[in-house]
Structure 1
Amino acid sequence: MKQTYETVVIFDGTLSEEAIRKENGKIEDFLKSNTEFEKTDVWGKRSLAYIIKKKKSGVYHLYIYQDQSEHNVAQKIEKLLKLNDSVLRHLTVIREIPEIVERRNRNFVEPVEADVEGGEQ
């Protein structure tokens, strides 16, 4: 079964635009050769909520791709990103299919409102 993955990567904000383009190209090439690559969404340079590796800013990129779960490409990209010194942080998640989310939400029972006054009538 194909699953859609989203990987957010925060590159070191002190890198030049050329260095970030080069690192982005490496990641895209890996994903294009190993998955059904959809797109890269560049969120740009932003201040970090807290200091990471003595850096105060980072450049955010979102990669969206599909893969068969038995290929373990998500694990391979995680390893590739961990070894990359230009990457401050990264996170990969599986995008949920809307039908599954809707089915799961239907199974929840609505809470019953309690009698606030507390007295019997």
Structure 2
Amino acid sequence: MKNYELIYVLKTNIEDDAKTVVLDKVKAIIETSGEVDKVDVWGARRLAYEIQKLNEGFYVLVNFKASTEIPKELDRNLKISDSVIRHMIINLDEK
């Protein structure tokens, strides 16, 4: 299993329940064949540049260990989610 870091930015105009649903979905995908090490909710912050006519985003950082299939599945799910503005998955073992 490899170490990964996922950061994703949600729209700030969605309800807290929707934010929790996205986080729970991410955790569920990771825990199918991996483990979540740490979840760090940064909260609402100003974006460096405007994305989809939004100036603020809700940031969440997740550190996890998983096989190589899990980041691909996370990427696919986060791309189709309407709540997610941006996301990035980094393999920490390749540094």
Same-fold call, TM > 0.5? yes
Question: For residues 82 and 21 of structure 1, what CA distance do their matches in structure 2 show?
Answer: 17
Q: Which 5+ residue runs of structure 1 have no aligned equivalent? A: 102-121
* Number of corresponding residues: 95
Normalised by the size of structure 2, how large is the TM-score?
0.90
Shift >6 Å, 4+ stretches? none
**Which structure exhibits the higher relative contact order, with contacts defined as CA atoms closer than 8 Å and separated by 6 or more residues?**
2
- Residue of 56, 79, 84 corresponding to 2:81: 84
Normalised by the size of structure 1, how large is the TM-score?
0.72
**Larger Rg: 1 or 2?**
1
The Cα RMSD (Å) is 1.5
Report the residue type matching 1:42 in the other structure: V
Could you say which residue in structure 1 is the equivalent of 2:28? Answer: 29
Could you say which residue in structure 1 is the equivalent of 2:6? Answer: 7
Q: Which 5+ residue runs of structure 2 have no aligned equivalent? A: none
Percent identity between the two aligned chains: 27
**8 A Cα contact 1:14 1:57, kept in partner:** no
More strand by share: 2
